[in-house]
Every structure is written in structure tokens, then in C-alpha cells.
Amino acid sequence: MDQSFSIFNIFTLLGGLAFFLYGMNVMSTGLEKLTGGKLEVALNKMTSNKIKALLLGMGVTIAIQSSSAMTVMLVGFVNSGLMSLEQTIAVCFGSDIGTTFTAWILCLGDIENNNSVGTVKFLLEMLKPESFSPLMALIGTALIMFAKKNKKKDIGRILVGFAVIMTGMTLMSSSVDPLANSPEFRKTLTAFENPILGVLVGAAFTGIIQSSAGSIGILMAFSKSGALTYGMALPIIMGCNIGTCVTALLSTFGVSKDAKRVAWIHILIKLIGTAVLLPVFIILKDVVGISALNNTVGYIGIAVMHTIFNVTITIMLLPFANQIVKLTRIIIKDGKETAVESKRTVTGLDERFLKTPGVAVEACRNATIEMSDITRSTIKDALGMLIAPYDEELAESVKDREDIIDNFEDKINSYLIKISKASVTGADSRRVSKMMHCVGNFERISDHAVNLIESAQEMHEKGISFSPECVNEIKVITEAINENIDRAFDSYNSNDLSVAHKVEPLEEVVDNLSTELKNRHIRRLQNDECTVELGYIFQDILTNLERISDHCSNIAGCLIETDEKTNIHAYLHDVKQNDEKFHAEFLAYSENYFGKLDSITTTKETA
């Protein structure tokens, strides 16, 4: 090999690759945080139409600059039940096209301005990475160090990551410059005239570094030597596309069979595409003898071939999406799953989402909404049991759901703790805090539901019951609590602060209703209209009802405190003292529910 190419050039090449991969990681992380998971979360909401799913997969991959992260997300979505296997295939095609965008960005490193003058020459010079990368690094570093808002810091990381990528490309390109005049290097490259060898080398190298962008970057760097032709480069590009599937395979350990099939969809697309297009290429090169394939390839040529390959296999295979899904079912057969495979992450909380915190936060949000819906049905059934005949089956159902809610709390809190340790945006950090507080209140409400069921069960087993007057009084307060449950839970599920503000006035009315019912019960005891035994049960019921209302207030208060960035105690003190709207709503609720209590008394006296 030429003496001008030494061990130090190899060091520079490897160092440039390290800069490139690190820059991709930094930029990808910054982009993921900047999007806050919004683009990724749309994946499981907009996949009913193949074209929309394809465009969405392409958009998300361009936005986060990582097809590997895209695939891992899809595996996680399917494993957690948020997406079906069939919904992922068009997204996979879109992701394959989206990943070619990186190659076009790298083409900036091949801009020439030899024949330009004046302003045009200056603009072309500024487009070269060695010209603008230092400026981007300077701006990015300044944002990271001095910006106060996390969003600006994320933009800074993106700029620094991009600058590092371009620095890596410059290092790799400069390291191979001595090879341009090396006869030994050109002789070595003739081995890659065998297209099968090119595919294998491209696949192996990409599999090792787990980055198709890194492989394409090195291929572009070697193209600077002037010894690489279109005929040599295209099989290597095909191999790079196959090698990137290694990441997908590694993400399938310990997941469901359908999740494993997602990775195989990714692999089959690349393998079938290469199996069809490689023979076509060989025929065009060796049989037809297209001379253009012997021309020297540059950055743009590599980007064009990379894009054409992925667009072609999408056009070719997308109509056969269902058949590809069926093929994955043949490869990964249905049957009894192992203990590891059958272990599902509760409510869609997949560990893989933690690599993209925005997605993890949204997955947790979906889980808490599911938990809130189960809690709402549980407490409403328990409240209904107080005024309806005892139902053993319904009572057991309430207790079973309370166990499910406990499991939700454990899993969600553990997952939220893991998210909080990751680097999340300020908005996502507030969402995590809000979920931690509200999940605890959901669980406590379910505990009170069981307490109410136990009170109803005690009366059933002892053959005792409340008087009709007492039952009607319980109807009034449970109606108020049911209304407050709906307000608190709806405000959480829809993140509607206008509804959250209506909870506290009604909570105050519930407290007053409880006090009034206790006084009425004392009078019944004094008049021998109620037994002491029933009195204890009644007191327990009222205590649990008050606590349920308190937890509704806590849920609404948490939303207000987090989203309006106010101290909840100062807020409550202020609205109770000075807020006319609060007082108007309090009076309206009081007139409604105390009016119903008064009608019970009037009916009794009339009777």
C-alpha cells in the first residue's frame, strides 16, 4: 500500500467513525427530547391507513434520525399491545425511506465551488461542513451552557451533535485521501466487483457498528479516493440495509411472538428487496454491460442509490404487506409461549420505551387513564352497593379490581421512577410528577371502595339494614360524590383545568353534607330510631365517603398546582376567601344537595 497511508490514517478513520456515531447519538437524543414523544406517540393512533402510516414512519425517522430507535419502538408498541402486528408494516417501510435522509445531509461534505465567484462562492463555501460546523458547535455549546429553557438546551445538543457528525465525516474523508493514488488500494477494491461479497461486507460491518448511517458515512469517505464505482457501491449499500436489522433482532429478547415478528418484518423487507434487486443489478452490470456502473461514485451518487433502493423495495413490496405478515407467522410459529415470552408488561409499559422518554411518558399516561377508568367503575359499584341489595358477585368483582388497581400503582410508579432518572423535558417532568401524585389517589379511592363493600357485607351477614330515611340520605351524599368523581376523573383524563376548578366547591359541600348527616344520625340514636351497631357502620361509611371526596380534591388540586404552577394551599385559601365564581358554584351545589336533604325531612314529617 502507498507509504503515505500509515497506521495514523487508520487511527484517524476510526476516530472519525467514533465522532460520527457519537454525534448521531447526541443529535438523535436531542431530537427525541425536542419532539417530546409527540411524533412517536402518533404511531399508534394514525396507522389505520397504509399511506398515512408510511408517511408517519418516514416523518418520525427523519425527526429522530434513527431507524433503529424507530424499530425498537415498534417492537415495544406491539409487545405492550398498543399496536397490532399488521399496523407496523407500513411504518417499517416509511422508516426505511426516512433513514435515507441522513445520507443527503452528509452530501453537504461534497460541495465544490471551484467555478463559483462572489456571493455564490461565499454561500457554497458556507454550506461546506468545515465552514459551518464550528459555528454550529459554538452556538450549540452556548445554548447548552447558558439557556434556561430545556427546549433551547435540546436545540443546542442537536446543533452540537450535527457539528460532531460533520467533524467525523471530515476526519474520515481526510484519512482516506492518501488512498487516491494507491495502486494497492485500487487492487484491493477490485474484490468488491463481486456483488455478493459487497453485500456480505456491508451487512457485516453495519451489524457490528449497528448504524447504517455510519456505514454509509464510511462508504462516502472511501468514495473520496476516486476508486469506488457505482457497481461496487450499490451491493455494499444493499448489505448496509440488511445489517441495520441486527438492532431489531437484539430488541426482541424476552418479548411476545408478535413483537418478534415486527423485527422479522424489518428483516424480510431488506432480504426480499435485495434478493430481487441484486440479480437485476448483476444482469444490468455483467450481461447488459451498462457502462455507467463503472463510473466513479461520489457522495450524491451514494445517497441517490441508497434512496432508490429503499423507495423501490417499498413500491415493490408494500402491496404484499399482508403476505409478509403471514410469512413472519410461518417463521415465528404460534404455540405455547415460554414463561419469559408470556410475561407481559402491564398496561403497555415496555422497558424499550425508556430509550425514548417522550414515548415512555405517553405510554404511562395511557396506563394511568386506564387505571382511572377501572377505579371509577370500582368506586361507583361500591357506592351503588350502599343503597341497593347486597350482591356477592359484584362485591367480589370490586375486590378483584382493587387488586388490579394495586398492581397498576406498583407498575406505574416503578416505571415513572425509571423515567424520572432519564433526561426528560421540563413539560414531561411535570407530567411525571402529576402522574405520581394522581396514581396514589386512584389507589386510595379503590381502597375506600373495598371498605364500603365490607360495610355492606357486614350488614348483609348480620341481617341488619338502615332505615328508609337513612338510605335516602346516603343517596344524596353518594350522588354528590359520584358527581365529584366524574369531575375529578374527567379533568385528569382530558387534562381539563376548567373542570378541575369545579371539584373543590363540591368537595366543600360534601364535607358539609357529611357533618349534617352525622348530626341527623346522632338525633336518631337519641330518639332510639337507630341501633349503636348500625351507628358505627354509618360512621365508617361517612368517613370513607369523605376520604373519597378528599382524594377527588387532591387529583384536581394536583392538576391545578402542576399546570398553573401555583401552590395548592395558597390557591385554595385564596379562592375560598376571594373567588366569587368559587362561592357561586358552592352555593349552587349547596342549594341542590341540601334541598334534596330537606325534601327527605319534609317527606318524613308528612308521612
pLDDT grade for 479, boundaries at 50, 70 and 90: very high
Cell 417530546 sits on residue: 36
pLDDT of residue 442: 95
pLDDT tens for 41-58 read 565 565 567 788 888 888
Q: What pLDDT was estimated at residue 531?
A: 80
Range ranked top by mean pLDDT from 111-120, 238-247, 351-360, 568-577: 238-247
Exposed, middle or buried, 166 (CB in 10 Å: 0-12/13-18/19+)? buried
Residue 345 has a pLDDT of 43
Section 283-300 average pLDDT: 83
For the chain, the average pLDDT equals 81
Lowest mean pLDDT among 111-115, 214-218, 314-318: 111-115
The full set of domain ranges for the chain reads 7-339, 354-463, 465-607
Given a cut of 50, whether residue 2 has pLDDT beyond it is no
- Please indicate whether residue 519 or residue 358 has the higher confidence score (pLDDT): 519
In this structure, what is the dihedral angle of CA atoms 426, 429, 431, 434, given to the nearest 10 degrees? -120
CATH class of the domain defined by 354-463: mainly alpha
- Rounded to an integer, what distance in angstroms lies between the CA atom of residue 349 and that of residue 354? 9
Place of cell 457501491: 233
pTM: 0.65
Which of 564, 417, 458 lies closest to 501 in space, CA to CA? 564
Residues 6 or more apart whose Cβ sits within 8 Å of residue 437: 554, 558
pLDDT, residue 173, reads 72
How far, in Å, CA of 272 to CA of 567, rounded? 60
Note the pLDDT of residue 606.
42
Of 107-116, 188-197, 494-503, 571-580, least confident by mean pLDDT is 107-116
pLDDT in tens, 136-157: 889 989 988 888 877 788 888 8
pLDDT over threshold 60, residue 563? yes
CATH class of 465-607: mainly alpha
Residue 1 has pLDDT above 50, yes or no: no
Query: Per residue in 361-390, pLDDT tens?
Result: 888 888 899 899 999 999 999 999 988 888
Q: Which residue has the higher pLDDT, 81 or 286?
A: 286
Contact status, residue 89 vs residue 321, Cβ threshold 8 Å = yes
Q: In CATH terms, are 354-463 and 465-607 the same topology? A: yes
